Structure 1
Amino acid sequence: MQINQEGLDLIKQFEGCKLEAYICPAGIPTIGYGHTQSATMGQVISEVEADALLRKDLKDAEDAVRTLVTVPIDENQFSTLVSFVFNVGAGAFEQSTLLAMLNAYASAETVAAQFMRWNKADGRELPGLTRRRHAEQALFLGKDWRVYLF
């Protein structure tokens, strides 16, 4: 299984795309949809190149979901989890209650509620992360996630 178009669209909406390299808040050169591995200051890429870098960057998140999830999930749930891992990292996902509940066969609604535990940075809620987590909840449950874009 790999990320579907809905999951890809969700990530693109919340990550945003910058075709010219910039320094992210962590002080790292970044380009496209949050790509850092080969970004250099002064670099400019096309939208097609940004999409290719995103697909490449998502491979690690896809691999983490395939490895860590031990129960059957549908395409939207897989894609949601890839978005989540891409944002929080595989290590955080591996240690999460969300994953533990999922692998213990909790209901989809119970698992989806866990996304909201991940809307903070440095202990304070971030509105953008809250919207992203609501969107991820919706996609995980097979609902329209786009209502959380604004």
Structure 2
Amino acid sequence: MLSRKPIFDEVRHLLGRGFDRAEVARLDAAIDSALGMLPAARELGDAGKALIRKWEGCARRRPDGRFEAYPDPGSADGKPWTIGWGSTGPDIRKGMIWTQAECDARFDRDIVRHVEEVAAALGDAATSQNQFDALVSFHYNTGAIGRATLTRLHKAGRFAEAQAEFGKWIYNDGKPMDGLKARRAEEAALYGLL
């Protein structure tokens, strides 16, 4: 993650004085702009889509090429039932079978909702494409973007602290899961790329 301190120190040295609040805000905005971290229309990038698909997988392929719903492997009661690219919800139940096209179409619909929810949670906070992609992957898996400390830290511009928060979301039914540890590590790594 980029440290802004050397930039501020150099400009302070060139000017021969400190900054007032307005100047700090303008310099921060200039750095954000240079890094491409403007709050723009939010869309899931290729890296985010690939990360989500990698971890969600299109699991439980049947011999006929279709996919069947399966219980959550980490929860004690098997809920929620899942199908395709990690699709869950009240309409997903035991015994469901979908084609690849149905799995893909549901993923596309689910992603729109998750992208909108992450964008709403972030508001106008400066966010790089990689950060946004990592946060959408996190939210797609946890549904927690609105209550996670990492969201609050991100919005405050405390990116290194926000990045460290990913590693806390590795539990399912109170047990740490190796798959969640690995996924969160990849999300954190993507988040940290500018």
Q: CA deviation at 1:61?
A: 1.3
- Residue 87 of structure 1 is aligned with which of 141, 146, 149? 141
- Residue 130 (1) aligns with residue 181 (2): yes
Q: Which moved more, 1:27-36 or 1:77-86?
A: 27-36
- Which structure has the bigger radius of gyration? 2
In structure 2, relative to structure 1, the CA distance for the partners of 1:72 and 1:86 (3 Å cut) is: same
1:44-83 superposed matches below 5 A: 44-70=97-123, 71-83=125-137
What stretches of structure 2 of length at least 5 have no aligned partner?
1-41, 60-66
Aligned pair partner of 2:85 in 11, 29, 33: 33
Consecutive unaligned residues in structure 1, runs of 5 or more: 144-150
Q: CA deviation at 1:28?
A: 4.7
Q: When the two structures are aligned, how many residues end up with a matched partner? A: 140
Query: In structure 2, what is the Cα distance between the partners aligned to 1:137 and 1:131?
Result: 10
1:99 aligned residue: 151
**CA 1:47–1:80: 2 relative to 1, 3 Å:** same
Which is strand-richer, 1 or 2?
1
| 1:22 lines up with 2:76 in the alignment | no
Alignment RMSD (CA, Å): 2.0
In the TM superposition, what is the alpha-carbon distance from 1:77 to its structure 2 partner?
1.0
Alpha-carbon distance in 1 for matches of 2:193, 2:101: 28
Identity %: 32
From the superposition, tell whether residues 99 and 52 of structure 1 become closer, same or farther in structure 2 (CA, over 3 Å).
Answer: same
